[in-house]
Chain A
Amino acid sequence: MAGVMADFGNFTHAVVRAIPSSLAKEALRMNVSDVDLEKARREHEVYVGVLKQKLGLEVIELPADESLPDCVFVEDAAVVCGDTALITRPGAESRRKETAAIRQTLKELGLNIVDMSDETATLDGGDVLFTGREFFVGLSKRTNQRGAEILADAFKDYAVSTVPVTDGLHLKSFCSMGGPGLIVIGSSEPAQKALKIMQQMSDHRYDKLTVPDDIAANTIYMNLPGKGHVLLHCTPEEFPESAKVFEKLKDHMLIPVSNMEKVKVDGALTCCSVLINMKAKV
């Protein structure tokens, strides 16, 4: 039986991209930091390995582009929901070209491609939180109103509400979905405030899982056949307190994934992949 808004968290494919050497020096970052490129690459390999081997997704790995230091963060380049992929117009000028390869890949997968051609619009995928029932779009340094409007046009079935993001890079820098109807949220004041706004805007009820560290609230949830609820989250080494919180989730298959290096250039877990459910295609 076909249905609208079914299969939240059910993915079959993932698109990832390798880390260019330029990342260490040139990738954008909010705080000055030195990135150990090799370590970052090892991290990323593990990440991809989890998606591929552990979870059995079909992973499409794009080669790095040295001219695009941030290109590993593919999430920002596209928003995929159901059979539609919105190719974004990233807020950072230097990242605009990242979308080309992603677009090509998604098109080859057979998704309906929607381009964000409006020159005034900006949108980073990291600002888009899809809950399964609706979208929240963070209005941040990288995403503006017009970008959100275009997203709303691309995904007409869903309510699209805007949420101001004052601190942090993206909306998902301090929150993510941890399950159907479960929002993982950081405990900082801006995060909590954003959550309140989301709650007010929503017709739906959500549970929340609050973790001490904002960035630890960025997790990847999947609901995979044969595996049930799967949650990729921070490691105890990075955020011991937050990791403890996740360990309380009894119904989830918990997979700690290290993200120590990429986080230095503001890369969170979700940033490094675009997840797709090809079965959702009608």
Chain B
Amino acid sequence: MTTESGADSEPKQQQEKGGKEKGGKEKGGKEKKAKAAEHFPAAAGHSTPAKNNQFEEDLSSTRSSTSRLSIKSPLRGVKKLKNMQCKITLLDGSDYTMTVDKRTRGQLLFAKVCDHLNLLETDYFGITYRDVENQKNWLDPNKELKKQIRSGPWNFGFNVKFYPPDPAQLSEDITRYYLCLQLRDDMVSGRLPCSFATHTILGSYTVQSELGDYDPEETEYNSELRFAPNHTKELEDKVMDLHRNYKGMTPAEAELHFLENAKKLSMYGVDLHHAKDSEGVEIMLGVCSSGLLIYRDRLRINRFAWPKVLKISYKRNNFYIKIRPGEFEQFESTIGFKLPNHRASKRLWKTCVEHHTFFRLVSPEAPPKKFLGLGSKFRYSGRTQAQTRRVSSQIIRAAPIFERSSSKRYTMSRSLDGAPVTENHDTLMRDATPAKAVAAGDLITTVTPEKKAEEEKAEEEEAQTNATETSDPNVPSTPLRQDNKTDSEQTDFAFDGETTATENTEVPEELVKHQRDISELKRSFLETSGGAESPGLTEWEKRLSSSPPTRSHSEGVEEAPMIEPLNTPQDSETEEVPAAEEEMKQEIQANGIEAAGVVNSSDVGAGTAGAQGCGLMTVTDTLEDVTSDWTDRETDGVKEDGEEEKFLVSPELKISPGTVRQEVSTAILDKRGTLIILREMESEDKMDATKTNQEKGGGASASVEEGEDDELDGDPLTRSKEKYSIINTNEDETGGQVDAEAMSKETSDKREISLNLSQTETDEEMSGVNSLQKTEAPVDRSEFTTVSREKVTELITQDAPPKREESCGLDEAVSDLSQWTFPDGQFATKPSPGSLAVSSLGWVPSSVTKSPAEEEEEEETGGRQEAAETAQSTGLTKPEAVPAEESTTKEVPVVHTETKTITYESSEGDYDGDVEPGVLMSAQTITSETTSTTTTTHITKTVKGGISETRIEKRIVITGDAGDLDHDQALAQAIKEAKEQHPDMSVTKVVVHKETEITPEGED
């Protein structure tokens, strides 16, 4: 396999808009800087294709100088060469050269290389390139090369991207061979540290594979042969000793043995990134198949298995993970890390997204359905491990014959200094650019549906079993816990049910007490019971411990905080702005936007609502991620990221102050029921809005957009939350705090709490309303059906009070279950500008403007009540025929902006937050647009506990002047359409969110 000439490279992708980029210039200069990775030699970044130059003679590499200048793109001005010569350094150290059109996408290059290598199981591999900082990045298969290679020569490396936890499961020997080559490079370079003994063992298999049986007469190791960063004669002798024993072992067998040993090394497949924790302590973050590892020096100081991680996000150079509360913890916590720069944090984020998706999800996306639209862009295009295994199991070709290269190359490429580790500076940040996976990944990092939901359950059960054991000596050990098939699949231990329960009951009281300062409470929870300082604290804790200003002993806190709460010291310093408020502000800023959302969800299976609360967590997660992208853009400028495309996708983005939009956001978490969430925000005049905005800070408008984008892009599950969270984040950044904040603080806290109690789930928007929904929904519906608006309104009004009571009852009942939600509330309380991503409970319906504040306060305070009130005050518009749907329009002539949200929910239940999310089978996003409305449909299929659920979430944004628009009609239409399209599904929830900017008399 030799020549690969430019002839093959097609000049496809003409469709690109700007052909006029600098593109790559051919610069030969390789910059190599040596950067010492002192702390963690292992931290070496991904493989370094440093080994190239020397092997120009390599047979396999042929330079194709064929340049096809055929089609030129006379786009603007400068004409440039259309074709570029690419040099890809392969795993055996040889270079493979070809000429491609500059607009070629990454996948073509990748495909050609794989083809050249005769590799079929390609999903574990990827192509790397160096960015301007000489950091290694993964080539995005979906993007044009020229958009990724900004400068410098087009030099690439072919590397293993996802290290299979169990290499024996690879289908082909050739795949294992390339994996071996990668690992050998990892070892020699020091990225994969191992003991002397292990070096000898692995080395012996290497020589067996390459040289065959040991022959006392002839076998002589090439002097350049290297098995370790520090090659010694002793090592070579030991290798030889072992080599003697392998007579008859085939190369493939030797490689298998090699891999069976290598995979056990603790740093196998761990992608390390330099970072600092919140205290500025240097640490390393390691991304691997099973989760995220935190190292300080060589010590592992914490570990977050994927099931523990609810959300991954980054903003600027900060990287955040949100953690599911442990058994001793009441709250989710968000942990922030500082990366060297924005690029680094983004790389880390992408790496996490990809690893999570590849190793943990069954499938990244749903198969395309009939609809066309945005979908593809937002999907994760690569296969997951599960998928690639399936596919590769069907490989039918005869085992390809290939030649093992001599390990000579390895040696040569390495410098002789014996400290290769220091050589690769980029090492540390081996980053994964979302290659195949990218699509979905960028905007949506969802940590949601885990395929292991069931496993986790099982674990929980185990845990309980264990607990039982404890008390019952009869059952000494639990044989249940065995390794599952692959390492990657192992999950954390289940929480101890009993403990949790206990704590839960206690919590509510605490909450009440500490409403004011929830964050404090949280800290206290995190504290160690003994209050023991250093000795009792983990390394992790110690560093954290300094932060919490208030260390109060709260009851049930027994567990040492493994996790640091995001909002620690900094937060306290900053004003406490309830997340909800922030959100609100944002919305307000958005002014002109009305949102009406219709969501339909139906369960395919006869799922019970109860169990399915999981969605929340996940959802939330996603949102933030999205946010982060946004943020980056704002900050960094679009170009760098090259992600503009995505943005373009969402139709809703156009936000002009004057416009009125209706957004319909629906978040439907589990219930089969449908949620229709209508958000209406009307702003009649831009000017007023503007004022408001100004107060809040210029960032507002931007943030709004972001939010929307996110929703669109984000996982279906997550959307609604995403918005909010996004918003929050933005606000923080912007620093635009609203006056209202101060006013509403107290209120908001309460509010949130109540919300939480009501529990439910996911939708932050809804959360406030939930209580209402549950109880009221049924009643209202029937009424609505027949009644005209006004009547409806009346009805609502009347009904409201009694409903409240009911709802209260529910809330209480629910409270235990929902406790876990509290964390959000707490966080929300303390969001500090600058601080990390805090999950926010979106309390949608509130307006930020000062004047309105009073009203809002009422709403807020009331919690559910308000919702009811809102309805009342609002001129209600009712969609007629559809049961369970309502739209509330607010037409009250007020001076300021008002936002009202009403949720009607047909179904029952509460979700237990701890319930595992189902397995996400597929997700799809479709967008359609008419003059005044934009409809985004998210279809999510989830399998949970054998029940599959299809949830359709429609979000409709109706834009227009309040006067011109018949919201009712629009809503009715939307619902009608939804029903028509999915006759077999039921509408479980309707949320109407309306924001109206009314005349600017008040203060403005």
A binding-site residues for B, Cβ under 8 Å: 1-5, 82-84, 112, 133-134, 137, 139-141, 145, 148-149, 152-153, 155-166, 178-179, 181-182, 187, 189, 193, 196-197, 199-212, 241, 244-246, 248-249, 280, 282
Contacts and interface: CB of A to CB of B under 8 A. Distances in A.
B201 A155 contact: no
B470 A157 contact: no
A244 B242 CA distance: 45
**Best-surrounded residue of B238, B264, B266, B328 (most CB of chain A within 10 A):** B266
Contacts of A163: 538
16 contacts: A3-B201, A4-B264, A112-B196, A141-B535, A149-B297, A157-B264, A162-B299, A166-B535, A193-B558, A203-B290, A206-B481, A207-B479, A209-B476, A210-B470, A248-B474, A248-B475
Contact of A201 (B261, B300, B326, B479): B300
Interface string B455-495: 00000000000100110011111111111000100101100
Given A84-B196, A163-B538, A200-B493, 19 more contacts: A1-B245, A4-B261, A4-B265, A5-B264, A82-B197, A112-B196, A157-B194, A157-B195, A157-B266, A162-B299, A162-B538, A181-B481, A199-B492, A202-B303, A204-B487, A207-B481, A212-B473, A282-B196, A282-B197
Contact of B195 (A3, A156, A161): A156
B476 A282 contact: no
Nearest to B205: A2
B648 to A, nearest CB: 41
A282 B201 contact: yes
Contacts of B241: 282
B539 interface: yes
A153 B298 contact: yes
A167 to B, nearest CB: 8
Interface string B534-549: 0111110100000000
A166 B532 contact: yes
A205 B886 CA distance: 51
Contacts of A161: 299-301, 303
B302 interface: yes
Given A164-B536, A282-B197, A282-B238, A3 B260 contact: yes
In the A-B complex, the 10 residue pairs with the closest CB atoms: A159-B266, A152-B298, A166-B536, A210-B470, A199-B493, A245-B473, A161-B300, A248-B476, A207-B477, A156-B193
B204 interface: yes
Nearest to B476: A248
B806 interface: no
Contacts of A158: 266
B261 A160 contact: no
B466 A164 contact: no
B282 interface: no
Interface in B519-537: 528-530, 532, 535-537
A13 to B, nearest CB: 17
Nearest to A207: B477
Contact of A83 (B197, B299, B300): B197
A164 B535 contact: yes
B257 interface: yes
Given A4-B197, A156-B195, A148 B299 contact: yes
B559 interface: yes
Contacts of A212: 473
A210 B266 CA distance: 27
B299 A149 contact: yes
Contacts of B300: 159-162, 201
Interface string B544-569: 00000000000000111010000000
A103 B480 CA distance: 41
Contacts of A203: 290, 303, 487, 490
Contacts, number: 165
Contacts of A148: 299
B200 interface: yes
Contact of B535 (A140, A152, A209, A280): A140
A3 B478 contact: no
Contacts of B260: 3
Contacts of B537: 164
Nearest to A201: B303
B499 to A, nearest CB: 10
B476 A189 contact: no
Nearest to B249: A1
A100 B850 CA distance: 76
B478 A207 contact: yes
Given A4-B201, A141-B535, A202-B303, A196 B264 contact: no
A2 B204 contact: yes
Contacts of A139: 535, 538-539
A149 B481 CA distance: 30
B554 to A, nearest CB: 17
B198 interface: yes
Interface string B858-877: 00000000000000000000
Taking each of A193, A212, A248, which has the highest tally of chain B beta carbons within 10 Å of its own beta carbon? A193
A188 B298 CA distance: 30
Nearest to A179: B477
Interface in B256-315: 257, 260-261, 264-266, 290, 296-303
A123 to B, nearest CB: 12
A199 to B, nearest CB: 4
A179 B482 CA distance: 13
A2 B261 CA distance: 9
B327 interface: yes
Contacts of B327: 196
Contacts of B466: 208, 210
Contacts of A182: 477
A166 B323 CA distance: 25
A204 B492 CA distance: 9
Nearest to A161: B300
Contacts of A199: 492-493
B878 to A, nearest CB: 52
Contacts of B469: 208, 210
B483 A204 contact: yes
A164 B204 contact: no
Nearest to B192: A156
Nearest to B528: A166
Interface string B495-537: 0000000000000000000000000000000001110100111
Contacts of B559: 193, 196
B538 A164 contact: yes
A82 B194 CA distance: 13
A209 B260 CA distance: 29
Contact of B482 (A162, A205, A280): A205
A155 B265 CA distance: 11
A200 B561 CA distance: 12
A191 B562 CA distance: 16
Interface string B699-714: 0000000000000000
Contacts of B238: 282
A278 B193 CA distance: 23
A71 to B, nearest CB: 26
B593 to A, nearest CB: 44
A248 B473 contact: yes
A67 B238 CA distance: 41
A2 to B, nearest CB: 4
Contact of A200 (B196, B326, B483, B529): B326
Given A162-B539, A166-B532, A196-B327, A201 B302 contact: yes
Nearest to A133: B264
A178 to B, nearest CB: 8
A177 to B, nearest CB: 12
Contacts of A133: 264
B233 to A, nearest CB: 15
Nearest to B473: A245
A204 B490 contact: yes
B476 A245 contact: yes
A187 B472 CA distance: 12
B472 to A, nearest CB: 10
Residue among A140, A165, A187, A209 facing the most chain B CB atoms (10 A cut-off)? A209
